């Protein structure tokens, strides 16, 4: 059977196998700037940091190169028996989302290879987080995947246990997603230690690929990715930086209750905030309402449910079970829900479909957090992110105005 004809969308993919090019051409209109520049840097074997706007295909930038490498090695009879790629996400929910999104390219590329008369290898991916059952963890040890999707904490545990540590000896690529969310606190320090342990474990140091939509200063992010000891004579990190910018068109406004604001919001003001958010939700197909704590998430979801119906709104935060979080995400994506009230659990790049509006109750405290949350709406290149900031006190009003 003749090979599928690659389209113009495969421009810039000349380094990839024809089956990979064919799948990409059938699926996308073309490669983004982040993808074209990122593929070139990764292909040269350099540690690479890709900083690009939301919706620019950063995750596929890293994964497609790894899948292509595994496909070529498999067709040559050299497919590794252990873990080849480690993908690290700051959130368990984001890790689950990436696992689902890997199924499409793996199945699609395999189908294209079969159409070309080839016998493609089975490239396996597995998820290892705090939500993973004991049986699933044992399955990873018995039959190691080629691509491991995990979190910093679960990577640490795998490096500590003798049997799982042995599976990591031949890792060639480490992908660190949402880098900015990890480098700002003690989780980043913990991850840096685990990455150093992984380097010491492997015969050859794995190539590191960092992905981020909002990161500044970018040179410090590159230094965190590569490690402080990997610097040039001038002190600059030995890392290729692909920075295609992260500015996007934003439609923002500050919402304040009609009554005078106080140092502490009164019950009457909370009612006015709930009424306004409910009115905004009614005007959209889908809305995410961000809050800063799990307790507030449950309270806001309850009050909005009284106004728009329990079937139209749900809470989403880290204290919920994995099954409930996934069910809530799927309900929003399918259109069953009109709104989700979330903490940072939905702040990063989890795929919940098209979001029309993001509401933030209270100050998000940090500009990067604000950009990530507002970026959940219009989650594609060329679209405008729409957000409404709800100040609950006079102090928050000043912070929201500054943002």
Does position 320 have pLDDT exceeding 70, yes or no? yes
* Cβ pair 341, 273 in contact under 8 A: no
Q: How confident is the model at residue 345 (pLDDT cuts 50, 70, 90)?
A: confident
CA 17 – CA 30 distance, rounded (Å): 16
Does position 377 have pLDDT exceeding 70, yes or no? yes
List C-alpha distances in Å: 248 to 299, 371, 378.
Answer: 32, 10, 10
Q: How confident is the model at residue 174 (pLDDT cuts 50, 70, 90)?
A: very high
Does position 4 have pLDDT exceeding 50, yes or no? no
Does position 53 have pLDDT exceeding 90, yes or no? no
Does position 7 have pLDDT exceeding 50, yes or no? no
User: What pLDDT, on the 0 to 100 scale, is given for residue 355?
Assistant: 84
* Cβ pair 369, 383 in contact under 8 A: no
- Please report where in the chains the tokens 């009164």 appear, as a residue: 266
pTM for the whole structure = 0.75
Does position 250 have pLDDT exceeding 90, yes or no? no
Q: In the structure encoding, which two tokens stand for residue 347, read together?
A: 């702040």
Q: How confident is the model at residue 6 (pLDDT cuts 50, 70, 90)?
A: very low
Whole-number mean pLDDT of the chain? 87
Phi, psi of 281 (to 5 degrees): -60, -40
Query: In which element (H, E) is residue 341 found?
Result: strand 339-342
CA 124 – CA 136 distance, rounded (Å): 14
* Cβ pair 70, 121 in contact under 8 A: yes
Q: In the structure encoding, which two tokens stand for residue 3, read together?
A: 């090979």
Phi-psi region of 353 (alpha: psi -120 to 50; beta: other; left: phi over 0): left
């Amino acid at each position: 059977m003749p090979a599928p004809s690659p389209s113009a969308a495969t421009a810039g993919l000349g380094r990839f196998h024809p089956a990979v090019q064919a799948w990409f051409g059938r699926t996308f209109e073309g490669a983004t700037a982040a993808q074209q520049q990122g593929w070139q840097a990764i292909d040269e074997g350099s540690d690479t940091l890709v900083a690009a706007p939301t919706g620019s295909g950063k995750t596929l930038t890293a994964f497609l190169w790894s899948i292509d490498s595994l496909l070529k090695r498999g067709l040559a009879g050299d497919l590794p028996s252990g873990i080849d790629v480690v993908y690290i996400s700051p959130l368990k929910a984001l890790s689950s989302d990436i696992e689902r999104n890997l199924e499409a390219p793996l199945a699609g590329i395999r189908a294209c290879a079969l159409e070309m008369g080839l016998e493609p290898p089975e490239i396996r991916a597995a998820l290892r987080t705090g939500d993973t059952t004991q049986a699933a963890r044992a399955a990873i040890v018995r039959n190691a995947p080629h691509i491991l999707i995990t979190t910093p904490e679960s990577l640490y545990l795998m490096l500590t246990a003798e049997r799982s540590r042995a599976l990591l000896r031949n890792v060639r690529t480490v992908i660190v997603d949402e880098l900015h969310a990890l480098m700002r606190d003690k989780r980043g320090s913990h991850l840096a230690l685990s990455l150093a342990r992984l380097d010491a474990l492997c015969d050859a140091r794995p190539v590191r690929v960092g992905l981020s939509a909002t990161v500044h200063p970018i040179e410090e992010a590159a230094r965190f990715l590569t490690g402080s000891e990997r610097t040039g004579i001038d002190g600059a990190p030995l890392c290729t930086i692909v920075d295609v910018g992260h500015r996007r068109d934003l439609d923002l406004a500050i919402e304040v209750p009609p009554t005078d604001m106080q140092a502490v919001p009164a019950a009457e003001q909370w009612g006015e905030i709930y009424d306004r958010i409910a009115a905004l939700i009614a005007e959209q197909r889908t809305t995410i309402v961000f809050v800063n704590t799990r307790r507030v998430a449950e309270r806001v979801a309850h009050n909005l449910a009284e106004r728009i119906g329990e079937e139209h709104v749900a809470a989403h935060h880290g204290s919920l079970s994995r099954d409930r979080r996934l069910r809530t995400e799927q309900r929003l994506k399918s259109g069953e829900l009109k709104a989700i009230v979330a903490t940072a659990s939905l702040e990063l790049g989890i795929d919940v479909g098209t979001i029309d509006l993001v509401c933030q109750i209270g100050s998000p405290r940090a500009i990067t957090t604000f950009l990530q949350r507002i970026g959940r709406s219009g989650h594609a290149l060329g679209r405008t992110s729409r957000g409404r900031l709800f100040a609950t006190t006079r102090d928050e009003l000043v912070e929201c105005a500054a943002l």
